[in-house]
Chain A
């Protein structure tokens, strides 16, 4: 099985912030809007390099979002970034009408996403936005897995035409892709070969999926196909259907509610094209809380262990043709 190595740790927000500068250098129409927390979502890099193309809008995300539409209607390529809690929910109506319905070339950066925001607690831990933004017509949605991928994904949405949302996080996470790793919007990356079960993940859960695959192989001889589904919309239907057909059992993993996010998107593809058992790893219809990222990931069941357990369950359901199913809050637990 292909091995991946950690080449250090860095937050995905660094990839986002650095990519904005690259985009700014490539295209003078790229402009950035800030809503006070520029040093957190690292739009500050762009601000320092291109002060004349940076607009501070203050703590007014609704306004910033609609202003971005006005700039795009004037031929600009505006990026607006804040925490996902405010860049996808506080401004939800503006995303829907000013951005998505207008179908303007605005890019939204949702930072500090998921429970790995840590000590700030539930108010700031956005765990539902993938569900919302992917439901908007015209919207492209990307959830990169590490620093390098965040950089590539940001550049990719900056160079496509149309509204897009990119989700990234606060805390340092393992870097396992590099500048050579292919990245193409809408094309999921198959990271490991295997036909026993497919693990489809996005964001920080991709690394956990790789760890789970390693354990499954070591302990059970199971070959898992790990798929990095960085683009949630448009979703890579072919890669998912191939996985369903060739593996017959699927696990999704995301730092997001199990409702409506990556899991929901994958389930839509599978139920329509080739139904197979599917298990969802994610936040099980609960809010987060304060704590260090590692403590929270363990508490809320967002690690390779839950993916491992879910994979065994999905395989069992496939092989025994079991009709039993778990309720939403029942998580498959890892056992040594």
Chain B
């Protein structure tokens, strides 16, 4: 029997919060991810779940400046999801921030939906800054945005970008890193979702990118390595970035967020086989139950 999928209408504002509030938002977004992927019947569960805590803090912790009722506000900070395949978590965050109705999360990957399989700005979903999905391009685009903000418009805006860890096997990422260091882009915050998982297996087995922090330091980044599920550490990392940017420290900032792919759902946790798969009915019931949802069947 199919699941009766309903998306709550809860939206959250963007302010300082305590850990239990971040956890509540992350839980809501993890449920969104499972529901939308179950309905879509395809898509990337693992990274979307694994980054829910990062999104919770970034979008709802008073870190990023944005106005969901005025998506083009020119004072906004920009977020670039370079790892475009984990779009479900970005869509959830945008909906929960009030960019569009949460009910639209049910249209993920569907014909004519604004919620494309990978973000596409040609579909005009509010809050999407660029198309992404061909790995590595998003981080270069973010560098271009940061260059524009710092050197041409000379404003105080910031650019946040998230890449996967497998993603940075793409050479362009290191071209982007070199450029960010060279141009001292202290308005750029590069978050690496470091879960050591990619489609074919462990990142360290497929093609090791480690050591990671040393690589970014060698490219003249300020680097901080944190537990990507620990809200206090996430807040501290983002606040450090903001403080350094305010002090014009002249270095781009990298957050290596150690995460577990599939975090929050026991049978997906730290399992690379969940990189690119959606839950089936049975798995969705199990996952949603674990995430505290009262599952109703039709």
Q: Which residues of A contact B (CB under 8 A)?
A: 31, 52-53, 55, 57-58, 60, 62-63, 65-76, 78, 93-94, 96-98, 101-103
Contacts and interface: CB of A to CB of B under 8 A. Distances in A.
Given A58-B178, A66-B144, A70-B142, A101 B131 contact: yes
A94 B152 CA distance: 23
Contact of B153 (A62, A74, A96, A98): A74
B133 A97 contact: yes
A101 B128 CA distance: 14
A97 B175 contact: no
18 contacts: A62-B140, A66-B137, A66-B141, A67-B141, A67-B143, A67-B144, A69-B141, A70-B144, A70-B145, A71-B144, A71-B147, A71-B148, A71-B152, A73-B141, A74-B152, A74-B153, A76-B148, A101-B131
B133 A63 contact: no
Given A55-B183, A66-B138, 20 more contacts: A53-B152, A58-B175, A58-B182, A62-B175, A63-B140, A63-B175, A63-B179, A66-B140, A69-B137, A69-B141, A71-B152, A72-B144, A73-B144, A73-B145, A76-B152, A97-B132, A98-B130, A101-B120, A102-B121, A103-B121
B176 A63 contact: yes
Interface in B135-164: 136-138, 140-149, 151-153
A67 B120 contact: no
Contact of A74 (B131, B140, B144, B171): B144
Contacts of A58: 175, 178-179, 182
Given A62-B172, A63-B172, A97 B131 contact: yes
A71 B144 CA distance: 5
B193 interface: no
Given A57-B179, A63-B143, A66-B144, A73 B122 contact: no
Contacts of A66: 137-138, 140-141, 143-144, 172, 176
B289 interface: no
B232 interface: no
> Main SS of chain B's interface residues?
helix
B130 A73 contact: yes
A57 B182 CA distance: 9
A71 B145 CA distance: 5
A263 B152 CA distance: 42
Contacts of A67: 140-141, 143-144, 147, 176, 179
B195 to A, nearest CB: 24
B144 A60 contact: no
Nearest to A31: B152
B134 A60 contact: no
A103 B140 CA distance: 16
A52 B130 CA distance: 25
Nearest to B121: A102
Contact of B147 (A62, A70, A103): A70
B167 interface: no
B166 to A, nearest CB: 17
A78 B152 CA distance: 12
A55 B145 CA distance: 13
B286 to A, nearest CB: 36
Interface in B65-120: 120
Most buried by A among B134, B141, B178: B141
Closest 6 CB pairs between A and B? Answer: A70-B144, A66-B140, A74-B148, A63-B175, A67-B144, A60-B175
B23 to A, nearest CB: 34
B129 interface: yes
B141 A62 contact: no
A87 B212 CA distance: 30
B187 to A, nearest CB: 12
Contacts of A65: 140
Most buried by A among B120, B131, B148, B182: B148
B172 A70 contact: no
A60 B121 contact: no
Contacts of A97: 131-134, 137
